């Protein structure tokens, strides 16, 4: 079984930047060898409201959907969606000071990037 290198980053929700509390809400996975880029998100609203009862839920959901859209190269996701997968991954994982932020990039090896993405989502987000 051939295994290819991949990179991934968690998507974090930090509803009140000044407090620094965060909630993992998704994973972005890029495998250049397999020409694969995808994001899967899961927002635990109970945990989010425990951190901030006034969190902008519609805005956070919109941001998470946009990340998934950029990965899927959806035209409605904006200009970044038109870039090649590597550029989209780098753009999505660039540091930001917003409520929805990428975590640091990590690496691994996989024979099945889609299965790996599901595994990471279950392990690190759900």
Average pLDDT by stretches of 10, the chain with 126 residues: 93 91 97 96 96 95 95 88 92 91 96 97 96
pLDDT given for residue 25 in this prediction: 98
Closest to 66 measured CA to CA, from 76, 56, 52: 76
pLDDT tens digits for range 95-111: 888 899 999 999 999 99
pLDDT given for residue 75 in this prediction: 86
Q: Quick one: angle between helices 57-71 and 85-93, nearest 10?
A: 150
pLDDT given for residue 46 in this prediction: 96
pLDDT given for residue 72 in this prediction: 93
- Cα–Cα distance for residue pair 82/17, rounded to 1 Å: 30
pLDDT given for residue 117 in this prediction: 98
pLDDT given for residue 1 in this prediction: 62
With beta carbons less than 8 A apart as the criterion, state whether 93 and 105 touch.
Answer: yes
């Amino acid at each position: 079984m051939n295994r290819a290198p991949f990179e991934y980053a968690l998507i974090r929700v930090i509803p009140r930047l000044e407090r620094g509390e965060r909630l993992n809400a998704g994973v972005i996975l890029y495998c250049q060898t397999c020409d694969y880029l995808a994001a899967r998100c899961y927002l635990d609203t109970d945990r989010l409201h425990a951190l901030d009862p006034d969190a902008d839920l519609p805005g956070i959901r919109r941001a998470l959907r946009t990340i998934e859209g950029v990965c899927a190269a959806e035209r409605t996701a904006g200009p970044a969606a038109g870039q090649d997968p590597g550029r989209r991954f780098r753009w999505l994982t660039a540091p930001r000071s917003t409520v929805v932020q990428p975590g640091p990039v990590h690496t691994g090896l996989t024979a099945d990037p889609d299965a790996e993405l599901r595994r990471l989502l279950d392990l690190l987000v759900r």
